[in-house]
Chains A and B, each alone.
Chain A
Amino acid sequence: MMDFLSNDLLQLSDSAVRNAIPLLLACLAGLYSERAGIFDIGLEGKMLVAAFAAGAFSAIAGMPVADGGWDMGAWSVWIGLGAAIIASTMFSMIHAFASITLRGNQLISGVAINFFAAGITVLIGQYWFRMGGQTPQLREGQRFEPITLPFAESLKDVPVIGEIYHQLISGHNIIVYMGFVIVALTWWVLYRTRFGLRMRAVGENPGAVDTAGISVVKLRYSALIITGILCGLAGAYLSLGTAAAGFGKDMTAGRGFIALAALIFAKWKPISAMGATLLFGMLEAIGNKYQTVDLGFIVLPGQFMQALPYILTVVILAGFVGKAIPPKAGGEPYVKER
């Protein structure tokens, strides 16, 4: 039992955390947007363009000047992160312009953004690097390295607690820790600040917010800027913070949609979002580790684990296990009465 705990379960939990982080950041990104009344099915596209910008700019920043790079050494990874946030926020602003200013269809805008990202990342990647849409392999200084927390090495041999601290809590990169901090921050912003209250109100009843003399447009734009920044972090994590160490064609592989599923699963609440994405991260970890899962009475194929987050989301959406009620004004453009 001890062996199972220290090896398999710890290892699985560790991968679950790694898998969960991009989902968590994208999920929180979606939370800001949808809580403010703007549907966002373009999380996938924003993450993808961020992953590309991060990979590309970190690579260029780290290249020697002779090769056309900027020779920025250890700063490269931060250039990459900045580029990711800028790219993703630009995409988010296209969505904002279409949905808020032009009062267009938010779902269609999201679909378009996903396709635009899928295409443009490969086109520009091929034009810049000629590697079939990939970006160059990132070296030290161009990617986020694991951080060993204080005392992790010396506590390593303490049973259970020391092992958990050493293997599960310590040894992740900075974005992982940022992810968990942002959960707390989001909870605080949403439930303890004036901005959060207004944002939630604008997602439920924009008319009331408007009547109170607060600008619906400004609030919604602010929310979508936050969405852009968080999707930027999520995408940057994929290319700068995982073993991939670079951008690969379509590297988000549906994570934006799993994040969307997690958001519904979590009923648009930040702490639950962390729970949902950790659960989905664990499912992914189990699916990666085992080809089939033998439960004794039934053997589940790996694909079942792959599909489980989606199936769970449908079940939750259907309201068979606790109803998920989205923000009331979601998807509807706000038209001021004249």
Chain B
Amino acid sequence: MNKNLPKWVDLGLIPLLTLALAFAVSGLVVLSIGQDPIEVVTVMVNGALCNPATNSSCFSGIGHTLYFTTNFIFTGLAVAVAFHARLFNIGGEGQAGIAGVGVALVMLSYDWPHWSIALVVGTLAAMAFGAAWAAIPAYLQAKRGSHIVITTIMFNLIATAIIGYLLVGPMQAEGSLPESPSFPDAAALPTMHDMFGWFGLAFDKNAPANISFVLAIIAAVGVWVLIWKTRLGYEMRAFGHSEKAAVYAGISPLKITMIAMLLSGALSGLMAVNTVQGEAERLLLGSVEGAGFIGIAVALMGRSHPVGVVLAAFLFGILTQGGAELQFALGIPAEMITVIQALIIMFTGSLENLVRIPLEKVFIRAGKGATS
């Protein structure tokens, strides 16, 4: 936020310009590996948005894109909520991973009779485990002053070790693969194919997108209400703007740090409902697949606003699914997406002033011209 700039520049023009820069540099990278950027974009967009139910040349498409979008909405919201309290939670990866363990534990502990009950239980478990994994870094930040970025990085790595241990030890299914037993069939969540079927509509039968997408939208609305319509949200934003002023106003840093991080962890954790419960229906090694980190890019691009987060998550869904198509159609490694993601984080995050400073100069000059 900046008082020198009109709101439309701050929230509209700057994100668009930085995004355009990120894509322009991505285009240069594509050129440098001897590919045609136009062809790359065409393959990605077609591959990510087509619908196999109506288009025979399409193999996965929108059903996969929405599946990834669901993950990124959760992790993006998680980073955004923490950002509002000026906390940088880069532990989404570990929180989602541990939440997966929680989901697997409750799914395997009881023969859940119906998916609706399983959804509620799975959601609660994911949130609880995700929040728990964020709780220690949060407490250490608030009480002992340990830097939350470093502790959450450490907790990501510790989580990897724990999950690795569980999947070749106590939670391993029979056989030699590092995975848990499959969850009971009755607990399987409805896929988008099933959901469209309720209304007599066709949708890709093989798509992994499931009812968690609805959960993600509900979470986005919930975050919007929390941040802008409640006292707690106001306190979080106040704390984020100025810790000193917030403390003076009687806001407890411990309380805000804990609540913001627990919420953030719970939101990251919800991702496990989509991946572990909805798609894999068992716990696999590396089920988070970097979505926790993509949440950082999503939150930055979406300006930590739920609407922005949902849109940015959809863009990253397209990029992820389109990236898979790139490998298939043009033989470009899927790492292309990692590069684009990095450039988006760079230009909308750390290099934002590249655009902002010149714009400010222009507007200050224009402003002076108008008043004099």
The chain A residues found within 8 Å of chain B, CB to CB, are 39, 41, 94, 97-99, 102-109, 111-116, 118-120, 122-124, 126-127, 133, 254, 257, 260-261, 264, 301, 303-304, 306-307, 310-311, 313-314, 317-319, 326
The 8 closest A-B pairs by CB, nearest first: A119-B338, A109-B350, A115-B342, A119-B339, A307-B161, A116-B342, A108-B349, A104-B350
Check if A124 sits within 8 Å of B33, measured CB to CB: yes
Report which of A113, A126, A261 forms a contact with B342, defined as CB distance below 8 A: A113
Closest approach, in angstroms, between the C-beta of A30 and any C-beta of chain B?
Answer: 11
Check if B153 sits within 8 Å of A133, measured CB to CB: no
Given contacts A119-B336, A119-B338, whether A104 and B352 have CB atoms under 8 Å apart is: yes
- Count class of interface residues, chain B: 35 or more
Q: Which residue of B lies closest to A306 (CB)?
A: B161
Please measure, in the bound complex, the distance between the C-alpha atom of A310 and the C-alpha atom of B336, giving whole angstroms: 30
B contact residues around A311 at 8 Å (CB): 154, 158
Q: B221 on the interface (CB 8 Å rule)?
A: no
B contact residues around A107 at 8 Å (CB): 88, 90, 149
**Contact indicator per residue, chain B 10-53, by CB within 8 Å of chain A (1) or not (0):** 00000000000000000001001110000000000000000000
B contact residues around A119 at 8 Å (CB): 335-342
Closest approach, in angstroms, between the C-beta of A257 and any C-beta of chain B?
Answer: 6
Check if B293 sits within 8 Å of A115, measured CB to CB: yes
Closest approach, in angstroms, between the C-beta of A290 and any C-beta of chain B?
Answer: 15
A contact residues around B350 at 8 Å (CB): 98-99, 102, 104-106, 108-109, 112
Please measure, in the bound complex, the distance between the C-alpha atom of A102 and the C-alpha atom of B90, giving whole angstroms: 23
Please measure, in the bound complex, the distance between the C-alpha atom of A105 and the C-alpha atom of B348, giving whole angstroms: 11
B contact residues around A310 at 8 Å (CB): 154-155, 157-158, 161
Given contacts A104-B352, A120-B29, whether A98 and B150 have CB atoms under 8 Å apart is: no
Check if A118 sits within 8 Å of B335, measured CB to CB: yes
B contact residues around A314 at 8 Å (CB): 136, 140, 146, 151, 154-155, 158
- Which stretch in B162-170, B184-192, B266-274, B302-310 binds the other chain? B162-170
Closest approach, in angstroms, between the C-beta of B52 and any C-beta of chain A?
Answer: 28
* A103, A126, A264, A318: most-surrounded residue (chain B CB, <10 A): A318
A contact residues around B368 at 8 Å (CB): none
Check if B339 sits within 8 Å of A260, measured CB to CB: no
